[in-house]
A and B are shown apart, each in its own frame.
Chain A
Amino acid sequence: MVTPIVIIAAALAMAFLLPVLEKAGKGLIKTLSLLVLAGFFAASLSWVAQILQTGAIISQTAGFKAPVSINLSVSMMEATGLAVIYLVALLSGAFQIFVKKAVWQGKELSLYFALILGLSGLVMTRDLFNLFVFMEITSISLYGLLVSGRDERRFEGGFKYMIAGGLSSAFYLIGVAFLYRETGQLNLDIIVAQSGQANLYLPLLLLTIGILIELKPFPANGWALDVYESADPGTGAVISAMNTTALILVFMKLMPLLQAFGSGIVYAALIIAGLTFFLANLAGIRQTSGRRMLGYSSLAQTGLILFVLLSPSAGLSEERGLSIIASMLRLDTIEVIALALLINHALAKSALFWLTEFLKKDALHKSSEEGDYRGNRGWLIPAGMAVLALTALPPFPGFWAKWAVITSFGAAGNIGGIAVILIGSLLEVYYLFRWFIRTQAHGEDGGDVIAPQVPEDFAPEAAPAPAGLTIKPAWQIFAPALSIIILTSLGLAWAFLSLSGGQELLLLPLAALALYALFDLIALPFAVKNILAMAGLGGYAYLIYGELNNMTLIFGAVFIAGSLVQLFLLFNKRDKRSGLLPFLVMMILSLGNLLVFKSSLGFFFSWEMMTVSSFFLVIRGRQASRASLRYIMFSLAGAFMIMYALADGFRGPLTGLVFAIGLLIKMGAIGFHIWLPGAYAEAEDEVSTFLSSVLSKAGLFILFITAGIYGQTFFPGAGNAFLASIDINAILGWIGVITALAGAMMALFQEDIKYTLAYSSMGQIGYMILAFSIQSHLGWVTALYLAVTHLLFKGLLFMAIAGVIMRTGTRLMYQMGGLIKKMPISFISVLLAIIALSGVPPLTGFGGKWLLYSSLMEKGWYLHAGLAMFSSGVAFLYLFRLIHTIFLGQPKTGMFENIKEAPIWGLIPQAIFMMVIMGFSMFPSLLIKPLQAAVEMVYPAAAEGVAWQGSTVLSSLGYWNGSAVMYVTMGVFLIPLAWLMIVNGRIQKVKQFNIVFAAERPYKPETTHYAYNFFSHYQKALGFLVEVRAERFWTMIRKSTDALGGLVRRIYSGNAQTYAFHIIIFVILFHLLAGGTF
Chain B
Amino acid sequence: MLKRILLIVSMVLLALILLPLLEGLGEQTHVSSLAEYYLSSGADDLNSPNLVTSVVVTYRGLDTLGEVTVLFAAAAGIMLAFKGLKMDEKEREKTQGPSELLASGASLLFPILFIFGIYIFTHGHLSPGGGFQGGVVIASAALLLLLSGVIPGVSHLMTSLLEALAGASYVAIGLLGLYLAAGFLDPRFLPRGEWSGIFSAGAIPVIYSLVGIKVGSELSAVLNAMISKGGEK
Contact = CB atoms under 8 A, between A and B. Distances in A.
Q: Is any CB of A less than 8 Å from a CB of B in the complex?
A: yes
Interface of A: 5-6, 8-9, 12-13, 15-17, 19-20, 59-64, 67-70, 107-108, 110-111, 114, 117-118, 121, 125, 127, 129-130, 133-134, 136-137, 140-141, 143-144, 147-148, 155, 174, 178, 180-181, 184-186, 202-203, 205, 1061, 1064-1065, 1067-1068, 1071, 1076, 1078
Contacts of B161: 20
B5 interface: no
Contacts of B38: 68
A9 B175 contact: yes
Contacts of A1071: 17
Nearest to B10: A1064
Contact of B167 (A12, A181, A202): A12
B94 to A, nearest CB: 26
Interface string B171-190: 10011011001111110100
B168 interface: yes
A356 to B, nearest CB: 23
5 contacts: A9-B175, A9-B184, A61-B185, A107-B79, A1067-B17
B184 A136 contact: no
B18 interface: yes
A5 B60 CA distance: 14
B61 interface: yes
Interface of B: 6-7, 10-11, 13-14, 16-18, 20-21, 32-35, 37-38, 45, 58-63, 65-67, 69-70, 72-74, 76-77, 79-81, 84, 160-161, 163-165, 167-168, 171, 174-175, 177-178, 181-186, 188
A178 B21 contact: yes
B168 A67 contact: no
Interface centre among B65, B84, B182, B188 (most CB of A within 10 A): B65
Contacts of A1078: 13, 16-17
A684 to B, nearest CB: 51
Given A16-B171, A63-B188, A202-B20, A143 B77 contact: yes
B164 A16 contact: yes
A1071 B21 CA distance: 14
Contacts, number: 174
B63 A130 contact: yes
A144 B73 contact: yes
Given A108-B80, A184-B35, 14 more contacts: A13-B167, A16-B167, A59-B184, A61-B183, A62-B183, A64-B45, A114-B72, A125-B62, A140-B77, A185-B32, A202-B21, A1061-B6, A1064-B14, A1071-B17
B183 A114 contact: no
B171 A9 contact: yes
Given A130-B66, A185-B32, A1064-B11, A13 B171 contact: yes
Contact of A63 (B6, B60, B168, B186): B186
Contacts of A184: 32-35
Contacts of B69: 12, 15, 114, 117-118, 137
A549 B10 CA distance: 68
Contacts of B182: 63-64
Nearest to A155: B81
B80 A133 contact: no
A400 B218 CA distance: 50
A110 B177 contact: no
A129 B63 contact: yes
Nearest to B65: A12
A141 B16 CA distance: 35
B34 A69 contact: no
B70 A202 contact: no
A269 to B, nearest CB: 17
Nearest to B33: A184
Contacts of A137: 66, 69-70, 73
Nearest to B84: A147
B70 A140 contact: yes
B27 to A, nearest CB: 14
Given A70-B63, A125-B62, A147 B80 contact: yes
Interface centre among B18, B73, B186, B188 (most CB of A within 10 A): B73
Contacts of A136: 66, 70
Given A9-B171, A144-B76, A68 B84 contact: no
A32 to B, nearest CB: 14
A64 B37 CA distance: 12
Contacts of A60: 183
A12 B72 CA distance: 10
B10 A1061 contact: yes
A12 B62 CA distance: 11
Contacts of B74: 140, 144
Nearest to A187: B34
A1071 B19 CA distance: 13
Contact of B7 (A69, A121, A205, A1061): A1061
A181 B177 CA distance: 31
A62 B55 CA distance: 10
Given A5-B184, A16-B167, A1061-B7, A147 B62 contact: no
Contacts of B81: 147, 155
Contacts of A134: 66
B67 A68 contact: no
A111 B21 contact: no
A114 B178 CA distance: 21
Contacts of A127: 60, 62
A62 B185 contact: yes
A174 B15 CA distance: 13
Contact of B33 (A140, A185, A202, A205): A185
A108 B181 CA distance: 34
A566 B201 CA distance: 87
A9 B167 contact: no
Nearest to A135: B66
Contacts of B61: 61-62, 69-70
Contact of B73 (A5, A6, A13, A111): A111
Interface centre among B13, B32, B62 (most CB of A within 10 A): B62
Nearest to B181: A63
Given A63-B182, A110-B76, A133-B70, A13 B168 contact: yes
B73 A1067 contact: no
Interface centre among B7, B11, B67, B76 (most CB of A within 10 A): B76
Contacts of A16: 72, 163-164, 167-168, 171
Given A130-B63, A178-B21, A1068 B14 contact: yes
B77 A70 contact: no
A153 to B, nearest CB: 14
B30 to A, nearest CB: 9
Contacts of B37: 67-68
Given A69-B60, A133-B67, A180-B32, A5 B178 contact: yes
B174 A9 contact: yes
B160 A20 contact: yes
A637 B155 CA distance: 65
Contacts of B32: 180-181, 184-185
B100 to A, nearest CB: 38
Given A67-B34, A147-B81, A61 B62 contact: yes
A1068 B62 contact: no
Contacts of B160: 19-20
Contacts of B18: 174, 202
A554 to B, nearest CB: 67
A61 B34 contact: no
B78 to A, nearest CB: 9
Contacts of A1061: 6-7, 10
B13 A1068 contact: yes
Interface centre among A9, A61, A1061, A1064 (most CB of B within 10 A): A61
A181 B186 CA distance: 27
B72 A15 contact: yes
B70 A62 contact: no
Contacts of A202: 17-18, 20-21
A64 B73 contact: no
Contacts of A147: 77, 80-81, 84
